[in-house]
Chains A and B, each alone.
Chain A
Amino acid sequence: MSDEGFDVIVVGAGLAGTVAAYLLGREGLQVLLIERGNYPGSKNMTGGRIYSHSLEKIMPGFAKEAPIERKITREKVFMMTEKSCIGLDFQSSLLGIPGSDSYSVLRGVFDQWLAEKAEEAGVEIITGICVDDLIIRDGKVCGVIAGTDQIEAQVTILADGVNSLLAQKAGLRQEFRPDHVAVGVKELIELPAELIQERFQCNETEGTACMFAGFPSDGRVGGGFLYTNKKSISLGVVCTLSELTKGQKTVPQLMEDFKAHPAVAPLIKGGRLLEYSGHLVPEGGLSMVPGLIGNGVLVAGDAAGFCVNLGYAVRGMDFAVASGECAARAVIEANKGGDYSESGLQIYRKYLDESFVLQDMKLYCKFPHFLETTPRIFSDYPELLEGIVTDMFVMDGQPSKALLKTMMKHTKKVGLLKIAGDALKGARSV
């Protein structure tokens, strides 16, 4: 550690922070990356799957070397009721093409690998240190405070995750609202690789991602997920906080009931629980994105609310990587003029605007509100679909009715106008 302090302090060795630190270290800047866990990734959790495009741009071919689990080449989306599971199964050689490939990952493992890359690029990493506060002088963030220690830097990047207490201390962020965040709970279930390959009909390097709407979140905004890893399955439930508190079931109970569902239980049968994890997901979209730039400070990753959940696809890690990259580029640019003031760092906003990060956040900005105000998606529609397919597939010797008539009978329960309205509202929100 130099006596004059660092050029950059990055708080949080998740994807956003580590990528930012890596790029800045590569540029020859003096970078300190501070992680409160005992190793990078030890506090981090994902569903989950990383869409590779943004990290691929920074570290071409990373998936060959990084501890990824399986390449996702099959996507399944289900509507689930207590008794049924009705799905879309998308298996295609169009999935997994280099450039648009995605991988299941386990962050406790993956983030350590990424941090090693940052270290090789000259970044100093300290772990087991929780940053309590920021040094703020004349309105400028001048470094961090951890216990009795103070460490100074020209600029500080806050990548301290969804509960960014530091972004609040920098005056950039208000408290999140319960309708802006979801809680995710996950069980990592160990199964032999061969059994996973059998159950999911894949080879030893490829795997499946499944999303479930309806029953997992007890008919409220949220859903279930399943990702195949090499020798384990990541199975979990996500539910928006404001919705959870309207219901009767606890989060652990949602998880247990999802596991016991007849469509899920056979997939994990014989598996052994390895780890039980929980995490918040920033799902409020653009409306929850805080101030991103302050005097001597930038916010990136989950701390900035960069995440998009479309129900059939959840993206956070590719946003974290890309926002970390934008933050690093902005600091490199500000460093040229030695101006780390709020105006000197404004270029961060420009880089984010130019990238998919803010473009996608803007595109999908109405979607979280659509989900929240259209509870039918999670309750009435799975049941409607169940009713229709039951009439299609169940033969009980009664004289059959015309398919259109059957469909109309079920759709009338919800109301044709409501369905048309929801479809239009949904289409407009994405």
Chain B
Amino acid sequence: MSTVDVDAKLSLNKFYVNEEDAHIVLKQNAETESSEFRKLMLACPAGLYKQDDKGRIQFDYAGCLECGTCRILCGNTILEKWEFPQGTFGIEYRWG
């Protein structure tokens, strides 16, 4: 199994990140709900849901592809908020 560097792939994409407003926010309980968080680690195509060696969770909405996978899987459990980024912000597919 080869290792994968998703961040390097995402760095080729064009993003307009809205630094003022996170369009996805995790709930406080996300760290303790590990089975729910694991779903997002597996399914997010941008690999934005991460866990470090000590088990601490990490999430950054900046590389979001706006697919909605996390909303479908965990919208009712560990996501506080899932919205589309405000107009003009977010991923901009040049080819799509």
Contact = CB atoms under 8 A, between A and B. Distances in A.
Interface of A: 36-38, 41-46, 106-109, 111, 127-130, 146-147, 162-163, 165, 175-178, 181, 183-185, 187-188, 232, 241, 244-245, 247-253, 255-257, 260, 273-280
B42 A250 contact: yes
Given A278-B65, A278-B67, A175 B46 contact: no
Contact of A183 (B45, B86, B90, B95): B45
Which 9 interchain pairs have the tightest Cβ spacing? A278-B45, A108-B96, A163-B68, A278-B65, A107-B96, A256-B4, A128-B88, A276-B9, A185-B45
B42 A109 contact: no
B96 to A, nearest CB: 3
Contact of B73 (A36, A111, A245): A245
A178 B95 CA distance: 28
A280 B72 contact: yes
B66 A43 contact: yes
B2 A249 contact: no
24 contacts: A42-B96, A43-B93, A107-B93, A108-B95, A130-B85, A130-B86, A163-B67, A176-B72, A178-B72, A232-B95, A241-B72, A241-B73, A245-B39, A250-B43, A252-B46, A255-B4, A256-B4, A257-B2, A274-B95, A275-B93, A275-B96, A276-B6, A277-B91, A280-B67
A260 B71 CA distance: 30
Contacts of B65: 276-279
B47 A252 contact: yes
A280 B96 contact: no
B60 interface: no
Contacts of B72: 175-178, 181, 241, 280
B59 interface: no
Nearest to A48: B96
Nearest to B94: A108
B33 interface: no
A184 B1 CA distance: 20
Determine the main DSSP class of A at the interface with B. Answer: mixed
Interface string B44-82: 111100000000000000000111110111011000000
A276 B75 contact: no
Given A36-B84, A280-B67, A275 B43 contact: no
Contacts of A184: 45
B47 A280 contact: no
Contacts of B90: 43
A252 B95 contact: no
A42 B89 CA distance: 11
Interface range on chain B (Cβ under 8 Å from partner): 35 or more
Interface string B2-42: 11101001101100100000000000000000000011011
A45 B96 contact: yes
A279 B42 contact: no
B39 A162 contact: no
A280 B68 contact: yes
Nearest to B71: A163
A224 B64 CA distance: 22
Contact of B1 (A42, A163, A251, A257): A257
B68 A162 contact: yes
A410 to B, nearest CB: 27
Given A43-B66, A130-B84, A280-B68, 12 more contacts: A36-B84, A36-B87, A41-B93, A42-B96, A147-B86, A181-B72, A183-B45, A188-B95, A245-B38, A245-B43, A256-B2, A279-B67
Nearest to B10: A276
Given A175-B72, A249-B42, A277 B96 contact: yes
A178 B70 CA distance: 10
Nearest to B93: A108
For B43, B47, B96, the residue with the greatest tally of chain A CB atoms inside 10 Å of its CB is B96
B10 to A, nearest CB: 6
A162 B71 CA distance: 12
A147 B92 CA distance: 21
Contact of A273 (B9, B91, B93): B9
B13 A276 contact: yes
Nearest to B39: A245
Contacts of A42: 91-94, 96
A232 B96 CA distance: 12
For A41, A176, A275, the residue with the greatest tally of chain B CB atoms inside 10 Å of its CB is A275
B42 A247 contact: yes
B45 A251 contact: yes
B9 A250 contact: no
Given A162-B68, A181-B72, A257-B2, A278 B93 contact: no
A223 B90 CA distance: 28
